[in-house]
Structure 1
Amino acid sequence: MSLKQYLTSKTFFIQMAIAIASVLVFGYLFMHWLTYTTDHGHEITVPDLRKLSEQQVEDKLDELDLDYVLLDSVDYKKDYPKHSVVEQDPPAGAKVKEDRKIYIKINSSGFTTVRIPNLIEKTYRQAVPTLKSLGLEEGKITYKPYLGKDMVLGMSLNGKKLNPGDKVFKSSKIDLILGDGKVGFEEEVDSVPAAKPETATPSEDE
């Protein structure tokens, strides 16, 4: 049988059909195996763990075949219960595979303390960023007569005077006493008593 006759024969077409069917079946089985081994399509939605205790986190993740790793604690946040989750990674709603580890950070047990910086004779614009960098907040502002406008003259917390170096809790509101800038050079001159006018002394001729 010549090649031309073979290519146009029934046997050739049957063998071609068998070959194509074999490739299709093999491809299907391979993709099915690949999907199974990579667990493709089987994803777990990460739950919201915020404000849950570590024990609650463990119970919740066990139900979903997930695990967790406790990284560390963060500065106390009053909006979260003590020892509850403040941050998590991946975030809630993310899609992950089975046995994926969720990294969490726990709220510390209470406020940490910081030392009051020396803000005396610093400007208001210098004082506020310094307080915020330490985790403190700006409180009530009052003014008193002083040559330097918006110059810090004193600090207090809940009516109690603070000195540089005093310890306070983070997130405390620090009240500031500032100069109003209304005591100027002219007022200082005006405050000097005026010299008494000289009185004429009688001449000897009179």
Structure 2
Amino acid sequence: MSLIKFLTSKVFVKQLVLALLAVIVLVFILLKWLNVKTNHGEFETVPDLRGKSVAVAKMELKDNSLEMVIQDSSNYNPDYPPYSVIEQDPIPGAKVKENRKIYISLNPSNFRKIEVPDLIEETYRQAKPTLEALGFKVGEITYEDNIGKDRVLQMKHKGSILHSGTMLPKTSTIDL
């Protein structure tokens, strides 16, 4: 009986109303602070940085109150100048908050170098897909009289004889 009497007393009801008002005021203040702190409703448009140099991209992002983060360079793309932006995240035209980090990937200066495998005495049928899988192009095929039919006797690049382990840029043409 005393619990019901306490819950209906003026002191308890007064304390409960004050506590609810304090919670409502604190939530209201917190929501207003979040709107100001997060720049609610304010956006920057991400510019298209593809094909631009790092310096130009940095200036454009600075003008738009955005930050640049360079990620590891991507595979070489001959359609873009060396050390230019070839990918970015978020994509151009996206709406982002001020001071957002824009992640970019740069075009290396050339194709990466790959080790030439040992294909001497392998058949042409085995050598061609092996070279193509590594990113090389098979160039001129020269046939020489030998005991083994369609066997690779020698590999050349631009007229120079290649040995296994030689490093060549990807997409190099290898003559067999």
The DSSP-based 3-state class of the residue aligned with 2:72 is strand
Aligned to 1:166: 166
Q: Would the alpha carbon gap of residues 82 and 120 (structure 1) be closer, same or farther in structure 2, given more than 3 Å must change?
A: same
| In 1, Cα distance between equivalents of 2:138 and 2:94 | 37
| In 2, Cα distance between equivalents of 1:49 and 1:141 | 43
The DSSP-based 3-state class of the residue aligned with 1:140 is coil
Aligned to 1:66: 66
| In 1, Cα distance between equivalents of 2:149 and 2:54 | 51
| In 1, Cα distance between equivalents of 2:143 and 2:98 | 62
AA partner of residue 115 (structure 1): E
Which structure has more RCO (C-alpha within 8 Å, separation ≥ 6)? 2
Task: Normalising by structure 2, report the TM-score.
Answer: 0.64
Q: Would the alpha carbon gap of residues 147 and 60 (structure 1) be closer, same or farther in structure 2, given more than 3 Å must change?
A: same
Aligned to 1:93: 93
AA partner of residue 66 (structure 1): L
Aligned to 1:102: 102
AA partner of residue 136 (structure 2): L
Q: Would the alpha carbon gap of residues 56 and 161 (structure 1) be closer, same or farther in structure 2, given more than 3 Å must change?
A: same
| In 1, Cα distance between equivalents of 2:61 and 2:118 | 48
| In 2, Cα distance between equivalents of 1:122 and 1:33 | 74
The DSSP-based 3-state class of the residue aligned with 1:72 is coil
Q: Would the alpha carbon gap of residues 35 and 149 (structure 1) be closer, same or farther in structure 2, given more than 3 Å must change?
A: farther
AA partner of residue 116 (structure 1): V
Q: Which runs of 5+ in 1 are unaligned?
A: 1-28, 177-206
Q: CA deviation at 1:140?
A: 2.8
The DSSP-based 3-state class of the residue aligned with 2:83 is coil
Aligned to 1:141: 141
| In 1, Cα distance between equivalents of 2:153 and 2:94 | 51
The DSSP-based 3-state class of the residue aligned with 1:104 is strand
The DSSP-based 3-state class of the residue aligned with 1:153 is coil
Q: Would the alpha carbon gap of residues 158 and 72 (structure 1) be closer, same or farther in structure 2, given more than 3 Å must change?
A: same
Paired residues in the alignment total 147
The DSSP-based 3-state class of the residue aligned with 2:48 is coil
Greater displacement, 60-69 / 105-114: 105-114
Q: CA deviation at 1:51?
A: 2.0
Q: CA deviation at 1:60?
A: 0.7
Give % identity.
49
The DSSP-based 3-state class of the residue aligned with 1:57 is helix
Q: CA deviation at 1:49?
A: 1.4
The DSSP-based 3-state class of the residue aligned with 1:69 is strand
Q: Would the alpha carbon gap of residues 103 and 165 (structure 1) be closer, same or farther in structure 2, given more than 3 Å must change?
A: same
| In 1, Cα distance between equivalents of 2:44 and 2:123 | 54
Q: CA deviation at 1:47?
A: 2.3
Q: CA deviation at 1:105?
A: 1.9
Q: CA deviation at 1:61?
A: 0.7
AA partner of residue 47 (structure 1): P
Aligned to 1:51: 51
Q: Which runs of 5+ in 2 are unaligned?
A: 1-27
Task: Normalising by structure 1, report the TM-score.
Answer: 0.56
